[in-house]
Structure 1
Amino acid sequence: MLRKFHSFTLALLLAALAPTAARAESPVTLTHVHGLSYSADGKQLMIPSHHGLAVFAGGRWSKAPGPEHDYMGFSATRDTLYSSGHPAPGSGLTNPFGLIKSRDGGKTWQKLGLEGESDFHTLATSYETNAVYVVNHNPNSRMSQAGIYYTLADGLKWLRAEARGLKGKLTGIAVHPTDAKLVAVGTDQGLFLSRDSAATFQPLVSGKQVLAQAFDLDGRHLRFSGHAGKATLAEIALTAQAKPNELPLPTMKEDAVAYIAQNPAQRDEIAVATFKRSVYLSKDQGRTWKQIAKEGNGVH
């Protein structure tokens, strides 16, 4: 049954976006999900889509201001949104984006290179340092071969990671909030940790398929999801011989957690989005949950 999860495409299909302000009364349908991030002030939970951003704030879903781009690999830092993807129809922009960033919550975007060359579905950022890691599947003008690459300079220079010791099919990447060299990668064979910018990896959790992973902003823990007869969510300390601590999840039928996000302003609050487009919030670090979207339909 785990193979089913790889077949789900993640994104949000939205209607037209307001040009200057979010419209709380506009209907929002989560047809797909392409990421999950909080705004720096913690007031908005953002979900990127085929046609712009959906926002959950103040107990309601709304459409965010900004262009209706198909955002892929969407990831937030304390002052910047990074993404890849494809331009909105009729925008006249080159497809695909390569790497882009926004400093105003997604209203406007700046090109950072590889426009017309690459679309990075797997992209992760370091919250405090703005380091960006991507998985590149095909050579481009700045990346001579496929693999994991990272930039510390907004795409002006890319470095390829050798990823020695990494086993299995990669499912996602997470970067430590303050140490850009500390990288976690999930695969179908476990959770792997690198302390040297993804040059080498050591197994942190072995023998389990890991579907999503995210560093706690305290910099001392990782959360990760999987499926073992049912959806699972756990956290593990970044210390030697640490053991995972399982967190309770709502009942999910043939579903699992695809994305994990933490509120930077209220760090006891975490959110998860599933492969079947359900979204849950926890105010107590994952002990109890409230559903805010059910299979693509927003719950106010």
Structure 2
Amino acid sequence: MIFKKPAGIILAAGLFLTGCSSSGEDEYKFVSPEAENVEHLHGSGYPGSGESFFIATHNGLFKYEDNEWTESNSNKHDYMGFAPYKNGFYSSGHPEPGSDLKNPLGLVKSKDLGKTLEKLAFYGETDFHYLTAGYESGKLYVLNEAPNSELEAGFYSSSDEGETWDKLDMKGVEPDILVSMAAHPTDQNLVGVSSQAGVYLSKDGGDTFTPVTEGKPSTSIAFTEQKGIYSVIDGESIKLVEFDLDTLEETEYRLPSLKTDNPIMYIAVNPDDSAELTFVTYKNDIYQSKDGGSEWKEIMDAGDPR
């Protein structure tokens, strides 16, 4: 089975996008969720700091903080390729219904948790489903699935927020079976991908990849400073595995009961506390651990905030 989830007013000389919101003119803030169920999650993480965990959805951002879920009251864009970093997040996707922003959004950045978006590249051209950023470095990696005005289809990186792009060879892994990817928080040359064939690591900025594990479909990957973390479907089991970036020595996490039709699609590590891990499953269950994976708390059940 194939699991894939990776899809205004212009101010300041066209750099910042706010857009006319269908949600009214209220001040942008996070409020109690209106919907009883959250659908179509496209990413997760800790933008700006480890204070709050966020999910990017078809209907904007949701925040989990102090054991409570809230959602943005406006700017409910369909965020794709959600990539948190130390100053906020990078993303792509589509504007909310009723917005005057161009569709697709191209590559955008927010430093205020979605109140405003800064357009960086390919505004109105490209929707990046596969996008990741080094949390500290800001190094961007994208898989461009269709040609645009500047880039051919392929795997690219940018060290200057999309002003210039380097096309990468991506030897050793097939892009058409890619499921997810992650950039190391500080090492700009270290990037990993999960695919239907396994987990692969590149230490030369994405030109060549070597296997961490092969023969088992992998659905997600993430990094801490010293470790990599990935999830695989191993026979009838879902596994979450940590590996040392130098030795590749592996340690398996204890997990809640997960069925193989509900694999782990997104893994996020709190940048301020690596013992806090949060993962999102295919069916929109979300579990969080604050003790390095010894105990897990379900904070969303099939899209229902708890």
SS class of match (1:83): strand
Q: For residue 47 of structure 2, what is the aligned residue in structure 1?
A: 39
Secondary structure of the 1:138 match is: coil
Aligned equivalent of 1:141: 149
For 1:171 and 1:10, how far apart are their aligned partners in 2? 8
Decide which of 232, 237, 254 is 1:248's aligned counterpart. 254
Q: Deviations over 1:233-274 (max 9, x none)?
A: 11100124x232111111123311000001122221110000
Q: Which residue, out of 150, 155, 158, partners 1:151?
A: 158
Stretch moving more, 40-49 or 268-277: 40-49
Task: Give the ranges of 4+ consecutive aligned residues of structure 1 lying more than 6 Å apart after TM superposition.
Answer: none
Aligned residues: 288
- 246, 266, 274: which one pairs with 1:259? 266
Aligned partners of 2:35 and 2:217: how far apart in 1? 35
Residue in 1 that maps onto 2:243 = 236
**Distance change (3 Å), C-alpha of 1:260 and 1:289:** same
The Cα of 1:210 is off from its aligned counterpart by 1.1
Within 5 Å, which residues of 2 pair with 1:139-288? 139-143=147-151, 145-167=152-174, 169-216=177-224, 219-228=225-234, 229-240=236-247, 242-253=248-259, 254-288=261-295
* Distance in 1 between residues matched to 2:284 and 2:189, nearest whole Å: 32
Q: Which runs of 5+ in 1 are unaligned?
A: none
| Structure 1 vs Structure 2 CA RMSD | 1.9
Mark the CA change 1:295 to 1:146 in structure 2 (over 3 Å): closer, same or farther. same
Shift in Å at residue 24 of structure 1?
A: 3.2
Task: Please give the alpha-carbon distance, in whole angstroms, between the structure 1 residues aligned to 2:49 and 2:110.
Answer: 16
Matched residue, 2:124: 116
Q: Tell me: CA distance 1:136–1:25, structure 2 relative to 1, closer, same or farther (3 Å).
A: closer
Gaps of 5+ in 2: 8-21
Q: 1:116 to 1:20 in 2, by over 3 A?
A: closer
**One-letter identity of the residue aligned with 1:41:** S
Match of 1:291 in 2: 298
- Distance in structure 1 (CA, Å) of the matches to 2:205 and 2:289: 31
Q: Cα deviation per residue 1:130-173 (whole Å; 9 max; x = unaligned)?
A: 11111111111121x21111111111001111111224711111
Deviation at 1:95, TM superposition (A): 0.7
Q: Which has the higher strand share?
A: 2
Q: Which residue of 1 aligns with 2:96?
A: 88
Q: What TM-score, normalized to structure 1?
A: 0.91
Q: Does 1:130 pair with 2:138?
A: yes
TM-score (norm 2): 0.89
What SS does structure 2 have at the residue aligned with 1:234? Answer: strand
Identity of aligned residues (%): 36
Q: SS of the residue aligned with 1:34? A: strand
Shift of 1:205: 1.4
